[in-house]
Amino acid sequence: MRRVSVFGATGSIGQNTLDLIARRPDDFDVVALSGGANVALLAEQAKALRAEYAIVAQENLLPDLRAALAGSAVKAAAGRSALLEAAAIPVDWAMSSVVGFAGLEISLAIARNSKTLALANKESLVCGGALLNRVCEDHGTCLLPVDSEHSAIFQCIGGADKEVERIILTASGGPFLHSDPKALEKATPEQAMAHPNWDMGQRISIDSASMFNKAMEVLETHALFDVSPEQIEVIIHPQSIIHSMVGFTDGAIMAHLGPADMRGPIGFALNWPERVDLPLERLDFGALGALSFQHPDPAQFPALELATQTMQMGGLAGAVFNAAKEAALDLFLDRRIGFLDMARVVRQVLAQTDVSGSDTLNIKDVIDADAIARVRAGEAAQKGF
């Protein structure tokens, strides 16, 4: 029996993770499950999987969680510190799939105490990559990427790190691939939510439409795989069948193919270093017909250029980039700024940032950089463009 915990259990990644765990009740002992505010689902999951602890992030929801768990052996807890305490309980495998910057400290607590950190929360790497890598190294923790592209890259590299020449991230192009950049000024959150291939949480779906998600993944690649910014490329591949590719020094390219189902990369991380039967649809190439590719248009997807700028700045620029992007997304969801204004906000905040003098290995410096960037994003939006 392997002891496992899932943080962000009620989300899209969390539910897919529990789907795989629930299929093999004899193999997994569920320790902690957490959710943000969806008490009913969290309680249902915790009871069904006989978890030891259920933690809801919103402190005021503790009475509701207790009521929903009444009659079961699951222990209820609530609030940010309870969540971080639960993430510090040693387990064999823990999934970090809370959305946003809130996930970084959860990932760090897992990395300090558990054997394997399965990392879906991309913000952990983008904002605190240096710190997280250091903690994993110091504690001998195995970090396995869950983002589909990074799982694909990890699988393609297969231990041949030294021979890597280039990493090619694939992007679906999202719902606006064929939209004119001018029309994108008026795009609504509802239109941006409608991803053609992947079924994901609200925030990452909108980030996919703007390619801020791909920009985050470029930064994630930079933090995970010891490659320079020039070695990372993005190519649009609308079918989302190739999940990413790695080019080696001899010119060979390895590609990872599979259906667009997050249970693939989650299952890979859950079972690594073994491969087990997963409940995924099998690809039928005859039915697929063609796979196509095109270069992204910078006018349509300005986020990609901002990722390059962020890598070149170094230091805590990743934390600034992410905070400005999260704040801009909130403003877009509130309909206070337009779709393309999100990139304008991030550009302005980066331009105001001085990355010298901050310590990338210090969580306080990361949190400060995040907080300042959020304030500046609000100011940038208020001033207008």
Binding site for Mg ion (CB under 5 A): 147-149
- Regarding 262 and contact with ligand NAD (CB under 6 A), the answer is yes
Q: Which is nearer to ligand NAD, 76 or 380 (CB)?
A: 76
- Say if CB 35 and CB 99 are below 8 A apart: no
DSSP helix/strand/coil, 6:
strand
Per-residue x/- mask for ligand NAD, residues 24 to 43, rule CB under 6 A? -----------xx-x-----
Q: Which of 31, 54, 95, 99 binds ligand NAD (CB under 6 A)?
A: 99
- Say if CB 125 and CB 148 are below 8 A apart: no
Q: Which stretch binds ligand NAD (CB under 6 A): 91-99, 161-169, 298-306, 351-359?
A: 91-99
- Regarding 10 and contact with ligand NAD (CB under 6 A), the answer is yes
Cα distance between residue 303 and residue 38, in whole Å: 31
Q: Which residue is nearest to ligand NAD (CB)?
A: 11
- Regarding 175 and contact with ligand NAD (CB under 6 A), the answer is no
Residue indicated by tokens 């962000």: 8
Per-residue x/- mask for ligand NAD, residues 40 to 79, rule CB under 6 A? -----------------x----------------------
Q: Cis check for the bond before 273: say yes or no (omega within 30 of 0).
A: yes
Amino acid of residue 232: I
- Say if CB 141 and CB 111 are below 8 A apart: yes
Cα distance between residue 3 and residue 32, in whole Å: 9
Q: Which is nearer to Mg ion, 145 or 315 (CB)?
A: 145
Question: For 61, phi and psi rounded to 5 degrees?
Answer: -95, 5
Q: How far is the CB of 183 from ligand NAD (least distance, A)?
A: 26
Q: How far is the CB of 41 from ligand NAD (least distance, A)?
A: 9
The three-state DSSP-derived secondary structure of 12-24 is HHHHHHHHHHHCC
Q: How many CB atoms lie within 10 A of CB 158?
A: 9
Q: How far is the CB of 149 from Mg ion (least distance, A)?
A: 5
Residue 8 binds what, of ligand NAD, Mg ion, none (CB under 5 to 8 Å, by partner type)?
Answer: ligand NAD
Q: How far is the CB of 251 from ligand NAD (least distance, A)?
A: 30
Q: How far is the CB of 333 from ligand NAD (least distance, A)?
A: 13
Cα distance between residue 34 and residue 10, in whole Å: 7
- Regarding 198 and contact with ligand NAD (CB under 6 A), the answer is yes
For the chain, state the CA radius of gyration.
Answer: 20
Contact positions vs ligand NAD (CB under 6 A): 8-14, 35-36, 38, 57, 97-99, 102-103, 120-123, 147, 198, 200-201, 203-204, 262
